[in-house]
Amino acid sequence: MLKVEGLEKNFGNKKVLKGLSFRANSHEITGLIGKNGAGKTTIFHSILKFINFDGKILFNGEPITKDVYREIGYLPEERSLMPKLTVFQQVRFLASLKGMSVREIRKELLIWMDKLEVKGSPDDKIKSLSKGNQQKIQLICTLIHRPKLIILDEPFSGLDPVNTDLLKEIILDERRRGATIVFSDHDMTNVEELCDKLIMISNGEIVLNGEIQEIRLSFGSTKIFVQTNLSMEQLQSIDHVTSVKKTKYGTYQLDIEDEKYGEEIFNIITGGKYVKTFDQQPPTLNEIFKMEARR
């Protein structure tokens, strides 16, 4: 378990982190979200002791020491492979820092290249690989030593949908293995699909912290999706409906003042007759992100 207590960080006169406290458990994926400049990368760098900070950070009850650092895998947002090295040389350099032997590295590298469907061989130079395959190699460098704490900063950047799905399966495998996983992403679909818990940072403070569905429900089920023969004007005239728009799927989306009016609106729209669709939902994670980021 990763435990962060009272984390603060100043850069000059600017306070970037303002007393953050949170936990990330083993066998769980925690999403860390926030708009650019919110402080996500500073949190990662604090956990990794790349920078000095005030507060306390523990992993499995211990401070992050050299020995604990060997149990961490970190994929930075900025890719940092050395293009003139071969795949094996690059992975060997980083994996050896985590205490792996050359024999272990050779064996595990082939397994991981097959698992991630890397197009190339261990003897290929990094610069000869496609951007997507380079990213897979960097992920191998992150995971090859089977870390107990995994930090992924924008792991899906630049990947096509097929490779994104492949990487998601790898991340889920690592969760099943028991790792504590923290990752950041700007695509809320990825966050909603993968994460058990969510932490949102805004201006250096935590504004959301909890299970994703609980967070969504806390905003109220104020959206209704309905397929009806009523016109947009008729829907807009219903009491407690604040806005109406037509979706690309041919349904209407109604925003309502409060979820308690859902049954009343259902009765008005259906008039006791069958409708194909009437679905009352809380805001999506993407909508919540936009709401919180604008505050």
pLDDT per residue of the chain (295 residues) written in tens, 0 to 9: 999 999 999 998 899 999 999 999 999 999 999 998 889 999 999 999 999 999 999 999 999 988 888 899 999 988 789 999 999 999 999 999 999 999 999 999 999 999 999 998 999 999 999 988 999 999 999 999 999 999 999 998 878 899 999 999 999 999 999 999 999 998 999 999 999 999 999 989 999 999 999 999 999 999 999 999 999 999 999 999 999 999 988 899 999 999 999 999 999 999 989 999 999 999 999 999 988 887 7
Q: Where are the domains of the chain?
A: 2-216, 220-293
CA atoms within 13 A of residue 19's CA, in its CB half-sphere: 0
Structure-token pair, residue 185: 């992403």
45-63: per-residue pLDDT in tens?
999 999 999 999 999 999 9
CA-based nearest residue to 187, from 208, 165, 169:
165
What pLDDT is stored for residue 66 in this prediction?
Answer: 81
Q: Would you state the pLDDT for residue 68?
A: 87
* The domain made up of 220-293 is a member of CATH 3.30.67: no
Number of neighbouring beta carbons within 10 Å of residue 136? 26
3-state secondary structure the chain: CEEEEEEEEEECCEEEEEEEEEEECCCEEEEEECCCCCCHHHHHHHHCCCCCCEEEEEECCEECCHHHHCCEEEECCCCCCCCCCEHHHHHHHHHHHCCCCHHHHHHHHHHHHHHCCCCCCCCCEHHHCCHHHHHHHHHHHHHCCCCCEEEEECCCCCCCHHHHHHHHHHHHHHHHHCCEEEEECCCHHHHHHHCCEEEEEECCEEEEEEEHHHHHHHCCCCEEEEECCCCHHHHHCCCCEEEEEECCCCCEEEEECCHHHHHHHHHHHHCCCCCCEEEEECCCHHHHHHHHHCC
Query: pTM to 2 decimals?
Result: 0.88
- Residue 23 has a pLDDT of 96
| CATH 3.40.50.300 at 2-216, yes or no | yes
Distance, CA of 241 to CA of 12 (rounded, Å): 48
Q: What is the pLDDT of residue 38?
A: 87
